[in-house]
């Protein structure tokens, strides 16, 4: 402590805050400090530190050191500590061992009866160790005793406030280390004051920095104690409220900073004098989270060199296409100068997959699983796709239908990190070609939507971006596309859904949807711009309104490499189900009759493909068309119905004199169809009489409710099976569960485009087709149908299982390539070994060797220079998200990379808190907030400062305890440094060079004694991270100037070391001389590199906490 700028918060910070509570507690009790008597339960480093500060406070009140020491009765697991007890005492216990002949009493109740203390403090780590007789004995000797259960987290508290109040009959004055709820007893309020170091250390740190103190003295800490105690109004203290509310954390930090600065000057350790206007100087020096103007380097000057060059982590650490997380080998870490920036464990990709799935399965809500997976996608693309491919059946209902529907509805609320491009008709019209230049990678495929008709949810405007993102996941997983070669795009043309536009979190243009000629001109400009920049790129349209879906399909399909999945993809997959359904029914395709409910673009597309399938079976076009009965909201579509039909409905309007029937049941009775298809978007529109009418005309009718998501399905499988008495053959657009009826299995086949479009895309790419023909899509239909074994089809299972998505994609790619050659639109011929060629071309998520640029060659220029998004888009210290103004986006060449809405920081805070409050579990709130911290630091701290009372129990105690216990499972993106004794000993100084920013403060732990949870090893990293949040929020430190460090010296907790997700060194904890030498090396290395840096030790075991405090406090800026 005298050698470095060093302090230990467990010892000194705890001592200072408890002393503040002790001072106010005695005021509340009406007891002078010099008359107070204390029983201290616990004899570890924190208890010794607290007792030492109590002594100093009593001495300041007039007692001698001997008298003050005699007022403190320290108790350990064996009872009252005395010099005559007969056991050997360690050096710190001897400081408070009784030497005055006090009897050796083992029982706490007897000790209390003997001492009659004014206060009982618990720092034992033993939950529920203060019992009813303990409290009753306290109250016998003192009218209103102080009870301080200080062990963390809440589950380790020695007593709850409810117990303390009940057993003391409301007489006690209470404070605890973790949060409790204020109680009342017979009209008297007993406050649940929180005695937490978070009030102390931020201001101590900033006071040390501003005073340029060479060491941190006890007087500086005691000044902090007094500043906290003085902050509480006198009338509140008298009422038993001993500590301030957390909402005042910032002002308390300012007060403490001023007090510590003055104390440093008084003690002669300051290098700066205290200014006359010290409070305003301190307040102005405090970090305030705002979006500062961008500098040349795109960053705040704190992390630039003179505003010209960018100081940053190595590029691959921030690029999701390159980042490996714990997957870097030791050699790669050494070569890339990232040694120490990642936990020391070297995991295989398979290890990471297992860890990720354990985490995902921990969420209860599907939408939270979705958010976690998309966050992974934005930080480690390779791991994301490996996870998806190995768990495709489990994860596709999360990443695609039905969950993606909710994600689109909540897109504004859950948006965090950009993914893809957002092109606005209001801001980017006539500029699209130049905006595309802001995307630095060449895509093989684009999925684009205008959000006009998302699934069956209607017009979601810019929220529809979730669909292109989800589709492209499937292109990579099922079609083998390289993630770096895909691009989701949202065309923001307004929105006609009032509730969406008025949603305060909506990120699109708040204007009515553009229609007609202007919409067409915008899409024409888009298609021309994309093809001019990337002439080989496939462009898939998605979820446009029917009017535009069909119009643009005809307009573009022969001019560009274009298809519409809602029309053609849906048509192809439903046709595959229709083919197999007729096989299962035993009906020849040329004899099949269909009722198609729905007359939008998808229904028209499906019906057109049915015609082609029937024609291939021998019918003429006229005969095939006559087999399809299309129904809209007004009934059967006929040319004689009397209303005006749009152009696509006329294709299937009856011209044969079929009567105009309005009711679906009557239509079914008239037609006697083999199959009923629903593409209406109207939930529960197939009723019991509908199914009964079907079964009257067909022994085993096909029932296909195809509207998505699940909530929009026309009928559930349970209803279909019950009402058909188990006779129906069933398939649906969203997932259902297979049923049985009187021994017969009715399969819940999923008829989803996801089987079709990935292979169609890759077949188009490999064939270099200049257009995508209907024959190519029908080849895909047949490939899907043929994949299902004949015996399964006969049993009514019409589609493959999702686990075969990859192989189906390969089969479809081969079939589409051949069809493209047959149709004369391919530029490449089909190789003899086509299947192996296709399989080899499919993207497989693996960690490839790093190139010079730190990335896979796909996103490098010849392996030499790095193709990347602008740096500030990936740096959490610079990134603004939707907070960039239009001018900044234009200047920084990021126009189109962020949703078009320009939000204030306050808008973003509101949106973030709405999201955080949507989680039920505290640990999930923690994970979300830490993810935000790693993507947008400014927003994170603004959110924290405006919601400090609500968020501190999440980001710090008690939730941080669970986060440390689960650190390996929840780890995603690196934050701070991890220095291992097994791998980095004698190399620490060089490893510190890998951290490119100069810290003002470091919080370091060896994980030896995390809260009251014991030895958590490398999992303890959650504590330094949490502490530094508080240094920034309460002490005004710049986030860019803070550094959390984990010293990985092993772990003695067997369950932790054997946890498959543990990220530290799997070895016993290092002790003794080797531990001391490692810490000495660390302190010398830090001070050599950053001589002004404050070093705070945290959660070391008591043996080391006290030893290192004395060893370093006068040598370094340490506490």
Burial of residue 789 (number of CB atoms within 10 Å: 0-12, 13-18, 19+):
exposed
Indicate the DSSP class of residue 90. P
Find out whether 996 and 313 touch, Cβ atoms under 8 Å: yes
- Cα–Cα distance for residue pair 500/483, rounded to 1 Å: 30
Q: Hey, how many other C-beta atoms are within 10 angstroms of the C-beta on 496?
A: 16
Residue given tokens 């120490």 in the structure block? 340
With the C-alpha atoms ordered 542, 546, 547, 550, is the resulting torsion angle positive or negative? positive
Closest by CA position to 714, among listed 728, 732, 699, 740: 732
Cα 700 to chain centroid distance, Å, stands at 47
Find out whether 70 and 32 touch, Cβ atoms under 8 Å: no
Residue given tokens 């021998």 in the structure block? 618
| Cα→Cα distances 545→307, 457, 550, 647, 908, Å | 48, 12, 9, 15, 30
Closest by CA position to 688, among listed 714, 653, 660: 714
Find out whether 5 and 216 touch, Cβ atoms under 8 Å: yes
- Cα–Cα distance for residue pair 1042/303, rounded to 1 Å: 12
- Cα–Cα distance for residue pair 658/647, rounded to 1 Å: 20
Return the structure tokens found at 44: 């570890």
| Cα→Cα distances 727→251, 720, 792, 795, 800, Å | 72, 9, 16, 11, 21
| Cα→Cα distances 356→4, 761, 922, Å | 40, 29, 19
Indicate the DSSP class of residue 725. T
Cα 39 to chain centroid distance, Å, stands at 45
| Peptide bond connecting 402 to the previous residue in cis, omega within 30 degrees of 0 | yes
Cβ-count burial 335-344 (b if 16+ within 10 Å, e if not): ebbbbbbbbb
Catalytic residue annotation: 400, 471
- Cα–Cα distance for residue pair 278/276, rounded to 1 Å: 5
Find out whether 613 and 579 touch, Cβ atoms under 8 Å: yes
| Helix (H) and strand (E) counts in the chain | 50, 33
| Peptide bond connecting 967 to the previous residue in cis, omega within 30 degrees of 0 | no
Q: Strand order of the sheet with strand 445-449?
A: 421-424, 486-492, 445-449, 538-541, 562-564
Helix %, strand %, coil % for the chain, to 5?
50, 10, 40
Return the structure tokens found at 1021: 């990293």
| Ramachandran angles phi, psi of 246, nearest 5° | -65, -25
Alpha helices in 966-1113 (DSSP H): 967-970, 981-984, 988-992, 1022-1035, 1054-1057, 1072-1089, 1102-1112
Return the structure tokens found at 743: 């021994």
- Cα–Cα distance for residue pair 812/838, rounded to 1 Å: 10
DSSP 298-338: SS-GGGEETTTEE--S-GGGT-TTT--GGG--HHHHHHTT-
Let me know the angle formed at the C-alpha of 132 by 127 and 138, rounded to the nearest 5 degrees: 100
Q: Which residues pair with 635 in a beta bridge?
A: 632
Cβ-count burial 250-275 (b if 16+ within 10 Å, e if not): bebbbbbbbbbbbbbbebebbeeebe
């Amino acid at each position: 402590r005298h050698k470095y700028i060093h302090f230990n918060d467990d010892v000194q910070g705890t001592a200072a805050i408890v002393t503040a509570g002790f001072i106010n507690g005695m005021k509340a009790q009406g007891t002078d400090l010099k008359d107070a008597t204390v029983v201290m339960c616990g004899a570890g480093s924190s208890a010794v530190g607290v007792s030492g500060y109590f002594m100093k406070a009593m001495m300041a009140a007039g007692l001698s050191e001997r008298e003050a020491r005699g007022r403190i009765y320290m108790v350990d697991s064996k009872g009252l500590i005395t010099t005559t007890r007969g056991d050997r005492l360690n050096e710190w216990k001897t400081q408070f061992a009784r030497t005055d002949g006090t009897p050796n009493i083992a029982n706490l109740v007897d000790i209390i009866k003997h001492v009659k203390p004014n206060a009982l403090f618990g720092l034992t780590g033993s939950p529920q160790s203060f019992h009813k007789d303990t409290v009753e004995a306290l109250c016998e000797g003192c009218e209103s005793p102080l009870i301080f259960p200080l062990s963390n987290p809440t589950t380790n508290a020695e007593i709850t406030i409810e117990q303390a109040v009940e057993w003391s009959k409301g007489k006690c004055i209470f404070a605890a280390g973790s949060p409790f709820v204020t109680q009342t007893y017979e009209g008297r309020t007993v406050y649940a004051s929180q005695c937490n170091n978070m009030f102390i250390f931020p201001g101590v740190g900033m006071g040390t920095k501003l005073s340029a103190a060479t060491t941190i003295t006890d007087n500086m800490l005691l000044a902090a104690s007094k500043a906290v105690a003085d902050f509480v109004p006198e009338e509140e203290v008298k009422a038993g409220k001993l500590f301030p509310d957390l909402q005042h954390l910032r002002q308390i930090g300012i007060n403490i900073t001023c007090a510590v600065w003055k104390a440093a000057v008084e003690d002669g350790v300051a290098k700066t004098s205290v200014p006359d206007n010290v409070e305003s100087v301190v307040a102005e020096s405090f970090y305030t989270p705002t979006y500062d103007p961008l500098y040349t380097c795109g960053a705040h000057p704190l992390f630039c060199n003179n505003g010209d060059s960018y100081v940053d982590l190595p590029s691959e650490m921030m690029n999701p296409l390159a980042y490996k997380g714990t997957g870097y080998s030791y050699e790669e870490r050494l070569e890339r100068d990232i040694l120490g920036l990642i936990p020391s464990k070297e995991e295989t990709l398979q290890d990471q997959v297992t860890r990720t799935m354990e985490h995902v399965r921990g969420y209860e809500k599907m939408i939270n699983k979705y958010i976690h997976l998309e966050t992974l996608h934005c930080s480690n693309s390779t791991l994301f796709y490996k996870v998806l491919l190995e768990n495709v059946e489990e994860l596709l209902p999360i990443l695609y239908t039905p969950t993606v529907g909710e994600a689109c509805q909540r897109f504004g609320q859950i948006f965090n990190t950009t993914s893809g491009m957002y092109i606005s008709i209001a801001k980017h019209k006539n500029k699209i070609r130049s905006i595309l230049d802001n995307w630095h990678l060449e895509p093989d495929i684009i999925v684009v939507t205008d959000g006009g008709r998302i699934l069956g949810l209607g017009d979601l405007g810019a929220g529809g971006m979730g669909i292109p993102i989800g589709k492209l996941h499937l292109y990579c997983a099922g079609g083998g596309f390289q993630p770096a070669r895909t691009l989701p795009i949202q065309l923001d043309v307004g929105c006609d859904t009032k509730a969406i536009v008025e949603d305060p979190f909506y990120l699109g243009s708040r204007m009515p949807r553009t229609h007609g000629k202007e919409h067409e001109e915008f899409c024409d400009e888009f298609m021309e711009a994309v093809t001019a920049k990337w002439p080989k790129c496939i462009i898939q349209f998605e979820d446009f309104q029917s009017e535009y879906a069909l119009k643009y399909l005809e307009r573009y399909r022969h001019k560009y490499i274009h298809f519409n999945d809602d029309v053609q993809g849906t048509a192809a997959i439903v046709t595959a189900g229709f083919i197999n359904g007729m096989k299962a029914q035993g009906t020849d395709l040329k004899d099949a009759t269909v009722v198609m409910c729905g007359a939008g673009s998808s229904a028209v597309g499906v019906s057109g493909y049915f015609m082609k399938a029937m024609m291939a079976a021998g019918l003429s076009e006229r005969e095939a068309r006559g087999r399809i009965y299309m129904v809209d909201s007004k009934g059967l579509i006929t040319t004689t119905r009397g209303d005006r039909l749009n152009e696509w409905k006329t294709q299937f309007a009856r011209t044969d004199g079929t009567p105009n029937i309005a009711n679906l049941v009557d239509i079914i009775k008239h037609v006697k169809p083999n199959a009923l298809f629903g593409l209406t978007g109207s939930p529960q529109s197939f009723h019991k009489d509908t199914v009964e009418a079907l079964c009257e005309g067909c022994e085993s009718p096909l029932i296909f409710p195809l509207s998505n998501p699940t909530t929009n399905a026309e009928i559930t499988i349970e209803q279909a099976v019950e009402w058909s008495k188990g006779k129906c053959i069933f398939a649906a657009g969203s997932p259902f569960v297979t049923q049985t009826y009187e021994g017969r299995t009715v399969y819940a086949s999923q008829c989803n485009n996801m089987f079709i479009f990935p292979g169609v895309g890759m077949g188009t790419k490999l064939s270099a087709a200049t257009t995508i023909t209907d024959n190519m899509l029908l080849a895909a239909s047949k490939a899907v149908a043929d994949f299902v074994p004949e015996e399964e089809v006969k049993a009514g299972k019409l589609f493959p299982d999702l686990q075969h998505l990859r192989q189906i994609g390969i089969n479809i790619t081969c079939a589409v390539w051949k069809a493209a050659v047959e149709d004369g639109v391919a530029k490449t011929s089909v190789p003899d070994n086509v299947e192996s060629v296709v399989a080899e071309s499919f993207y497989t998520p693996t960690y490839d060797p790093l190139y010079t640029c730190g990335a896979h060659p796909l996103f490098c220029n010849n392996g030499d220079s790095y193709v990347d998004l602008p740096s500030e888009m990936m740096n959490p210290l610079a990134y603004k998200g939707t907070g960039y103004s239009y001018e900044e986006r234009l200047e920084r060449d990021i126009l189109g990379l962020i949703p078009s809405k320009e939000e204030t920081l306050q808008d973003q805070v509101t949106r973030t808190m709405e999201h955080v409050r949507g989680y039920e579990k505290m640990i999930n709130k923690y994970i979300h907030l830490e993810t935000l911290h790693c993507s947008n630091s400014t927003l994170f701290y603004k959110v924290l400062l405006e919601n400090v009372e609500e968020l501190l129990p999440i980001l710090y105690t008690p939730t941080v305890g669970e986060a440390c216990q689960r650190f390996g499972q929840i780890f995603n993106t690196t934050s701070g440094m991890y220095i291992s004794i097994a791998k980095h000993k004698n190399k620490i100084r060089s490893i510190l060079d890998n951290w490119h920013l100069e810290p003002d403060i470091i919080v370091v732990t060896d994980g030896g004694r995390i809260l009251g949870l014991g030895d958590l090893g490398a999992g303890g990293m959650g504590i330094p991270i949490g502490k530094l949040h508080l240094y920034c929020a309460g002490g005004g430190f710049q986030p860019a100037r803070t550094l959390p460090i984990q010293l990985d010296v092993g772990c003695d907790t067997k369950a932790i070391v054997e946890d498959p997700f543990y990220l530290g060194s799997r070895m016993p904890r290092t002790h003794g001389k080797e531990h001391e030498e490692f810490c000495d090396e660390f302190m010398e290395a830090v001070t050599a590199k950053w001589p002004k840096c404050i070093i705070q030790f945290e959660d070391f075991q008591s043996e080391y906490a006290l030893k290192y405090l004395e060893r370093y406090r006068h040598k370094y800026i340490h506490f």
